[in-house]
């Protein structure tokens, strides 16, 4: 595995691979790697000759009061993890390399960034769009691997790639969960043991809601109320939002139909956890 | 010469050329092709195996009161011109293909877009940045050819390419002029015969200013005053701006030093003409 910090250097290595006709799979991350990331890496390895993993905690996607400073940074641990997963190239740029002092450009994706998490994290998805545009221009992969856990991120990046004609295929991989159903996340590290025991209620509530819809429920408000009640009765979590939206446009649904994304964000102490489920009606 | 309107089609053709190891030169235009464009095409042809010319009158770079509807569109004439110039591929997408109804993304380049023309054409350079990002992602050229006549456009696109890490080299080509010094421009078509006779004063004034600086003048205000006086005394042109700025950052200069861009925009009737000159001090 090559550990590369320099933009020119990684461009050269990737250009060489491309000249050999090798396809490039790309897994962008913020590090603190876990089994969720491993599943993306393995998917990429099965489908491509070369797998590139990037680790970059992107300041532009954190709000002023968010956990940018506290976000776990574990370079050695991540490198060992990536090596074990047989990543070919790990790209580890510094903030100054990605955003030099002379930097002036921003990207905005409208509407789809305003619902769900976007309502509570203004600018977050614009920061994601910007850094992913840059990383895609540096790595120029054939396929970009993303996790369904970050459902809105997936939708925003699909829109971005379509709108800017970025020449990459997007492959969305299923959420990887702990045995008790909790979605894998670097932020699970923030949970106390008690919060950790409670947190699986999120996925239980989402599955319960799906069951209700499959049994015929079509009233959005009822579904949301049901999820909220389960979370409140079984945990100390503070609900930030629970929403049922169109899975492509992320716009709120009056009646439930088509492909529905049920998504939520719940605070457990310092940890803001998100999860979601898709129901096809 | 191939005339391509479809995005997928041009991607396929370019991928084939790249597999043959051919380099791609790209000349983006809004059509109404003239000798200025020809010089970009010839530069690209000398340096690349394949030259792609795009013709797209980009609605997003025109203000509400600007000449989007009136801008000259001469498809047959342009195709003949491009063929004579031995362009390999002319890319002629429709507005709907470039901006489908579902389009949601915008790009902003700060600061460098706010001076010179940007002061009078808010949003113009963001529209340019957006369409060029898209065209670069579609054509994926090795080299992008731009004309120095649009000095601010050159500076903004250099900044954009650097900021977004777009993998392309930028080649800025000298302004091509009529025999009497008037910079070639599609908008020269708007000039009446009288305005056409007057318009060369712009370049005469710029050269005169350069001479003054080379003779030792370092006071920005004096240089601007001199240019303004020449234009006012010798034409019916209405000056929009005359500015002396740093040639890279486009920020105003108190004292003249380094690489100085003297740029101006002057209305002659319906035609807004721009021109510029660089002085190295």
Among the three residues B173, B197, B215, which one is the final residue of a domain in this structure? B173
Query: CB–CB of B105 and A137 under 8 A?
Result: no
In a domain, B230, yes or no: yes
- Indicate the pLDDT class of residue A254, thresholds 50, 70 and 90: confident
The Cβ-side half-sphere exposure at B147, using a 13 Å CA radius, reads 26
Q: A105 to chain B: nearest residue by CA?
A: B109
Q: b vs e for A80-94, b when ≥16 Cβ sit within 10 Å of the residue's Cβ? A: ebbeebebbbbbbbe
Per the CB < 8 A criterion, the answer to whether A59 and A179 are in contact is no
**Which residues of chain B does A133 touch, with a Cβ-Cβ cutoff of 8 Å?**
164
In a domain, A180, yes or no: no
Residues A161 and A202 in one domain: no
Provide mean pLDDT across the span A225-237: 98
How many other C-beta atoms can be found within 10 angstroms of the C-beta atom of residue B210?
Answer: 18
Neighbouring C-beta atoms of residue B176, cutoff 10 Å: 18
Whether B163 and B87 map to the same domain: the answer is: yes
On whether both A65 and A149 belong to a single domain, the answer is yes
pLDDT at B148 over 90: yes
In this structure, the answer to whether residues B230 and B163 fall within a common structural domain is: no
* Edge-to-edge strands, sheet with A24-29: A2-4, A89-91, A50-55, A24-29, A143-147, A169-173
Q: What is the mean predicted confidence (pLDDT) over A145-162? A: 98
Point out the least confidently predicted range of A157-166, A236-245, B23-32, B66-75.
B66-75
Cβ separation of B164 and A103 shorter than 8 Å?
Answer: no
Is residue B82 located within the same domain as residue B17?
yes
Averaged over B107-128, what is the pLDDT? 97
A199, A82: one domain:
no
Residues of A in contact with B107 (CB under 8 A): 105-108
Number of domains composing chain A: 2
Statement: residue A174 has pLDDT above 90:
yes
Q: Are residues B153 and B205 in the same domain?
A: no
The torsion defined by the Cα of B184, B114, B241 and B124, in degrees rounded to 10, comes to: 40
A103 touches B at CB < 8 Å = yes
Residues A136 and A190 both lie in one domain: no
> CB–CB of B176/A146 below 8 Å?
no
Residue A90 confidence (pLDDT): 98
- Tell me the per-residue pLDDT of B78-110, one tens digit each, with 9 for 90 and over: 999 999 999 999 999 999 999 999 999 999 999
Q: Is A47 within a domain?
A: yes
Q: Tell me: the pLDDT tens digits for A28-62?
A: 999 999 999 999 999 999 999 999 999 999 999 99
At A78 the pLDDT is: 97
CATH number at residue A254: 3.30.1300.10
- Let me know if residue B179 belongs to a domain: no
Is residue B178 domain-resident? no
Nearest CA in chain A to B164: A134
Question: Which residue of B23, B104, B158 is the best one to mutate when testing the A interface, meaning the one whose CB has the most A CBs within 10 A?
Answer: B104
The model's pLDDT over B203-247, given as tens digits with 9 standing for 90+, comes to 999 999 999 999 999 999 999 999 999 999 999 999 999 999 999
Tell me the CATH number at A62: 3.40.50.620
Q: Which residue of B has its CA nearest to A168?
A: B137
User: Do the chains contact at B105 and A103, CB–CB below 8 Å?
Assistant: no
Asked if A166 reaches chain B (Cβ–Cβ under 8 Å), the answer is yes
- Same domain, residue pair A66 and A128: yes
Burial class (CB in 10 A: 0-12, 13-18, 19+), A7: middle
Q: Give the residue on A whose Cα is nearest the Cα of B106.
A: A108
Residues of chain A neighbouring B166 (CB-CB closer than 8 A): 137
Q: Is the CB of residue B160 less than 8 Å away from at least one CB of chain A?
A: yes
Q: What average pLDDT is seen over chain B? A: 97
Question: According to the model, what pLDDT value does residue B58 have?
Answer: 96
Average pLDDT over all residues of chain A: 97
What's this model's pTM, rounded to 2 decimal places? 0.97
B129/A105 CB distance under 8 A:
yes
Judge whether B237 and B267 are in contact, CB under 8 Å: yes
Could you tell me the residue range of the domain that residue B264 belongs to?
186-276
Q: Does A160 touch chain B (CB under 8 A)?
A: yes
Domain boundary at B120, B150, B173, which?
B173
* Cα–Cα distance for residue pair B12/B8, rounded to 1 Å: 6
Domain boundary (A173, A200, A232) is at A173
What band does A163 get if pLDDT is binned at 50, 70 and 90? very high
Shared domain for B95 and B131, answered yes or no, is yes
A178 within a domain of the structure (yes/no):
no
- Does residue A168 sit at the B interface (CB-CB below 8 Å)? no
| HEC readout, chain B | CEEECCHHHHHHHHHHHHHCCCCEEEEEECCCCCHHHHHHHHHHHHHCCEEEEEECCCHHHCCCCCCCCCCCCCHHHHHHHHHHCCCCEEECCCHHHHCCCCCCEEEEECCCCCCCHHHHCCCHHHHHHHHHHHHHHHHCCCEEEEECCCHHHHHHHHHHHHHCCCCCEEEEECCCECCCCCECCHHHHHCCHHHHHHCCHHHHHHHHHHHHHHCCCCEHHHHHHHHHHHHHHHCCCEEEEEEEEECCCCCECCECCCEEEEEEEEEECCEEEEEEEEEEC
Q: What are the tens digits of pLDDT across the range B5-21?
A: 999 999 999 999 999 99
pLDDT at A281: 92
In this structure, are residues A152 and A174 in contact, taking their beta carbons and an 8 Å threshold?
A: no
Residue-wise DSSP of A201-268 = HHHHHHHHHHHHHHTT--BHHHHHHHHHHHHHHH---EEEEEEEEETTT--B-SB--SEEEEEEEEEE
The catalytic residue positions of A are: 37
Instruction: Write down the pLDDT at residue B254.
Output: 83
A151 and A250 share a domain? no
The partner residues of A16 in beta bridges, in order of sequence, read: none
Q: For residue B105, what is the nearest residue in chain A, using CA coordinates?
A: A109
Please check whether residue B134 touches A, CB under 8 A. Answer: yes
**Does residue A181 form part of some domain?**
no
Is B87 found in the same domain as B190? no
Interchain CB distance below 8 Å, A163 and B103 = yes
Residue A23 has pLDDT above 90, yes or no: yes
Does the CB of B50 have a partner CB in chain A at under 8 Å?
A: no
Residue A158 φ/ψ, nearest 5 degrees: -60, -45
Cβ-nearest to B104 among A109, A138, A166 = A109
Classify residue B8: in a domain, yes or no.
yes
| Percent of residues, chain A, with pLDDT higher than 90 | 99
Split at pLDDT 50, 70, 90, the class of B199 is very high
A157 — contact with chain B (CB < 8 Å)?
no
pLDDT band, very low/low/confident/very high, at A137 (cuts 50, 70, 90): very high
Cα separation, A63 vs A272, whole angstroms: 13
Give me the residue from B105, B111, B162 closest to A159, CB to CB: B105
């Amino acid at each position: 595995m090559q550990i590369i910090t320099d933009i020119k250097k990684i461009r050269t290595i990737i250009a060489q691979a491309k000249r050999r006709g090798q396809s490039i799979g790309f897994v962008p991350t913020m590090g603190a790697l876990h089994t969720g990331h491993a599943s993306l890496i393995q998917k990429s390895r099965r489908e491509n000759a070369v797998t590139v993993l990037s680790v970059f905690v992107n300041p532009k996607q954190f709000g002023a009061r968010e956990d940018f400073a506290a976000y776990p940074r574990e370079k050695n641990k991540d490198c060992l993890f990536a090596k074990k997963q047989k990543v070919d190239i790990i790209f580890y740029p510094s903030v100054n390399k990605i955003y030099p002092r002379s930097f002036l450009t921003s990207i905005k994706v409208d509407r789809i960034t305003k619902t769900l998490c976007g309502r509570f994290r203004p600018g977050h998805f614009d920061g994601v769009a910007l850094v992913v545009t840059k990383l895609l221009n540096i790595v120029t992969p054939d396929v970009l691997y993303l996790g369904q856990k970050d459902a809105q991120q997936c939708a925003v990046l699909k829109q971005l790639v379509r709108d800017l004609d970025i020449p990459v295929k997007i492959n969305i991989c299923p959420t990887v969960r702990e045995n008790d159903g909790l979605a894998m996340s670097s932020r699970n590290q923030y949970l106390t043991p008690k919060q950790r025991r409670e947190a699986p209620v999120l996925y239980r509530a989402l599955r319960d809601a799906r069951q209700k819809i499959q049994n015929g429920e079509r009233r959005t408000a009822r579904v949301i109320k049901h999820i909220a009640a389960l979370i409140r009765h079984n945990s100390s979590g503070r609900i930030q939002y629970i929403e049922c939206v169109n899975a492509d446009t992320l716009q709120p649904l009056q009646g439930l139909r088509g492909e529905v994304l049920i998504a939520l964000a719940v605070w457990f102490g310092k940890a803001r956890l998100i999860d979601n489920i898709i129901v096809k009606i």
